[in-house]
Amino acid sequence: MKNKYFYIVLTCVLTVGMFLSACTKTAASTETTEPSSGETTSSEPVTIKVMSYFAYDNPEVEQAVVAAFEEKYPDITVELESVPLSDIILKYKTLIAGNEAPDVMAMNLENSYAFASLGAIEPLDQWITSSGLDTNIYYKATLDMWKFEGVQYYMPATFSDVVLYYNKDLFDAAGLAYPARDWTWDDLKAAAVALTKDTDGDGKIDQWGYSLPWWPIMLEMYNASIWSEDGTTCTLNSPEGIKAIQTMVDARYTDKFAPTADQLAEQGDWDMFIAGRLAMFPSGPWAVQPFNDGAKFTFDIAHMPAGDKQATQVYANSYGMSATSEHKDAAWKFIEFATGPEGTKIRQDGKYEISPVKEIAEKYYVEALSGDDPEHAIVFMEVLDYAVPQPLNEHWSEISDAVQQQLDLALIQEISVEDALDAACQSINEILSK
């Protein structure tokens, strides 16, 4: 994540860059920066630059989106540059500082707020209104996560979320009912305990009931927050936070249905599930193909269990427009296409996550999995009713590291949950004060 001083420098450079750009624009510019009426073709040929990390290992996917767009808009040429996510954020920083930002930028949630807050991203509300785009076609959760202070800065291109994968064969062998839509944590615990076994009688557990989800999901399940509403104070060590993390510790050491860190070091939970040694595993749509390829049993997915409430996390990728683009009309046309029904179906058919457009996800994603596991793929869409995005803060990477360092100690019972969260809050408060 960017540090405080980089933000200051980049803000100054960006401001100067925007000023110089405005001064050097001439009347010969072929494109307006005001929203157009949404006509199919531009009055004159124009070229826009798009930078994306989507399906980087399968470049033909986003190339197909571009080809379909150029067929629909023959007067707009797209120069697509595919960059891995590990490199693209630094590249954006460099290009923005040099006033050479691409017209359209792919963005992940973790970095989205920082670029928007710097003024590097064009607000999209006026473009949405002018083009007549019906935003009701999107899952609300996938759209709202790209709004900051009520302003839409990005449009969702894909989404994924966390659901409960389960091994139907293990449930059947144990005579247990499959996870239900209204399952609670207590229901999951009862089933997980029954499914945790020493199958060969050697005194060592070799089949586990459940593996714990990422800790922010547990916090959400118990109405716990990491920081106060104004973002100035750590609240992780609240009674709700303690309850959430203590539930994780108890799953390992009191109820003993979740593998410990030492046991996971021998075989990770992903491989443990594929091997048939883990009955329930929280994961996302990225697991569907690997599990179908590797598992020798039937699996399905279900809703996440409710703690004090039902919760899970939604993740997404988006496209945004550079605030300094000289071809905003064409850039918006690309964003509207690439994040709309046509573009997202191409991406979804290419097996790069799920379309945020309801019709495309519910009809074609589920249809594409027909004959494969999971049987109830529609659950990926249903959990969006209660899914929330990951916590968002410009210092998230530092905060997450500070929490994880202390949770690792609590989850091996080296320190108490209370002490772990107090120590984490001490570090978080220092970070939030920057």
- 160-185 tens-digit pLDDT: 999 999 999 999 999 999 999 999 99
Tell me the pLDDT band of 393, cut-offs 50, 70 and 90: confident
Mean pLDDT, rounded, for 337-362: 96
Residue 95, pLDDT above cutoff 70: yes
Residue 73, pLDDT above cutoff 70: yes
Q: What local confidence, expressed as pLDDT, does residue 395 receive?
A: 87
Tell me the pLDDT band of 434, cut-offs 50, 70 and 90: confident
Q: What local confidence, expressed as pLDDT, does residue 35 receive?
A: 58
Residue 409, pLDDT above cutoff 50: yes
Among 80-94, 169-183, 386-400, where is mean pLDDT lowest?
Answer: 386-400
User: What is the bridge-based pairing of β-strands 387-388 and 278-283?
Assistant: unpaired
Instruction: Tell which CATH classification among 3.30.465.10, 3.40.190.10, 3.40.50.150, 3.30.365.10 matches the domain 163-311+391-432.
Output: 3.40.190.10
Residue 345, pLDDT above cutoff 70: yes
For 73, half-sphere exposure in the C-beta direction (CA atoms, 13 angstrom radius) is 27
Query: Pick from 433, 425, 387: which is nearest to 406 by CA?
Result: 425
- Count Cβ atoms below 10 Å from residue 32 Cβ, excluding itself: 11
- Burial per residue of 312-338, b for 16 or more beta-carbon CB atoms within 10 angstroms, e otherwise: bbbbbbbbbbbbbbbbbbbbbbbbbbb
Q: Where are the domains of the chain?
A: 42-161+314-388, 163-311+391-432
* Residues ≥6 apart with Cβ < 8 Å to 405: 424
Spatial distance between the Cα atoms of 159 and 55, rounded to a whole number of angstroms? 13
Torsion angle of C-alpha atoms 105, 106, 109, 111, degrees rounded to 10:
-50
CATH, domain range 42-161+314-388: 3.40.190.10
Residue 335, pLDDT above cutoff 90: yes
